[in-house]
Each structure stands twice: as C-alpha cells, then as structure tokens.
Amino acid sequence: MDTTGAATVEPRRSARERLLDAADELFYYGGVQTVGIDRIIEQAGVAKASLYNTFGSKEELVRAYLDARHERTTARLTAAVERHTDPVARLFAVFDAQAEMLAQPNFRGCAFISASAEAPLGGMIEHATDSYRSDIRGLLTRLAADTAAPDPATLGRQLHLIYDGAILSARMDRDPSIAVAARAAVTALLDAALPSPDPRSTMTTDNSGPPDKTKKEHT
C-alpha cells in the first residue's frame, strides 16, 4: 500500500506528561494555590483518578512542576557556561542567559518565588524551592571560585542577590532591560572582589639611568 501521502500520527502523550504540561502553564500564570485540580485535569484531558494515581496529591503535582522548571533552568544556565573557557566569561554567561529569559514575552517572574509565597512552611514546595536556590547559589559560588576570588562563598551570595534582583525588577517593573544594569553590577562587584594583578608583572624597564645626584630630594 502506498503511504507516501499519509499524515504522520503523533503518539499519544502519557497522562503524566499532559498533566505536567497543563500544570506548567496554569500554575506559572495563575498561581499554585489559585489554580485548582479541576482546571488542571480539564486542560490535560485526563480523569481526576489519573492525577491522583500519578502524583498522589496536588502538592506532589506542584513539586513535580517545580522540579521540571528547576531542571530546565539549571540546564540552560549550565549550557551557557560551558560555551566559554575563561573563568570570568563563564560567570558572565549566567547573567547573559538570564537576560534572554527575562526578555521572553511569556516571562512572568520566578516560579519558585511565586509558589513559595503561597505555600505552607516546611512542605514539599518549600523543599523544592530550597533545592533550586541551593543549586543556583552553588553554581555561582563554583564559578566565583574559578576566578580565584579570595572569598568565593561571599561572592557567590552577592552574585545570587544580583540574580534574584534582576528577576524581581524585570517582573515588577515589566522591564527586561534591567539585565543591562544587572550585568554592570556584576562587573563592579568582580572589579572589587577579584585580586588586582601583581604590580611586578606590569613594571617596565627603567632606561633613565641612575638618579641625578644634583637634584634635591623632597621628603
């Protein structure tokens, strides 16, 4: 049978994939507490039993949604870093990648900040947020250490402050160009934090000869 003109049939996605897709959109734009289970299952096109059989609870679904965003964000930042070999360029790559994310038309702020603001203390959402923030700070601290900064832990925390501040400003002010100011702040911070070059390495040969003994020295 000739199937040359036959349309390709995409395999039906699993209930888990459809639920996560629906959660990713609805939770990010509507909030994890505001969006109810009924909206999730309606958009995913699955039965309510499928949600509970797959995730067990809404909180587990929120945790899976945040874990997926965690993985995508850190993968994107890591890929940007790995395109460079110079330690300082690798650090700037994190903020360049962030600038691209802030400029996306569907940017609505940090999913983890939004979710944790609505979540009870000590639950799965708080743990997911803590894990994400730990990974971002760990990445910045490792990159700071690669620059030979004398105190990479402190520098990493300071860089994390700039990273967080850029996200909040871009969202609250609806101004993705804040990434330019964030990059300038990183530059100023690195200029202050990194050791200055050894003056001996920049000294030039003095060909002026011995000092003139006839000139009076000033004290």
| Closest C-alpha to 62, from 129, 13, 121, 109 | 129
pLDDT on residue 159? 98
CA distance 166 to 116: 18
Q: What is the largest CA-CA distance in the chain?
A: 107
Cβ–Cβ < 8 Å for 55, 43: no
**Phi (first) and psi of residue 85, to 5 degrees:** -115, -30
pLDDT on residue 157? 98
Cβ–Cβ < 8 Å for 73, 113: no
**pLDDT tens sequence for the chain (219 residues):** 455 555 555 677 899 999 999 999 999 999 999 999 999 999 999 999 999 999 999 999 999 999 999 999 999 999 999 999 999 999 999 999 999 999 999 999 999 999 999 888 899 999 999 999 999 999 999 999 999 999 999 999 999 999 999 999 999 999 999 999 999 999 999 999 998 765 554 444 444 445 454 444 443
Which residue do the tokens 């995913």 mark? 44
Count Cβ atoms below 10 Å from residue 128 Cβ, excluding itself.
24
| The length of the chain, given as a count of residues | 219
Class of domain 60-195: mainly alpha
CA distance 84 to 160: 20
Cβ–Cβ < 8 Å for 116, 126: yes
Contacts of 142 (CB under 8 A, 6+ apart): 152, 156
The residue extents of the domains of the chain are: 60-195
CA distance 156 to 171: 23
Give the predicted TM-score (pTM) of the model.
0.84
| Closest C-alpha to 23, from 5, 36, 14 | 36
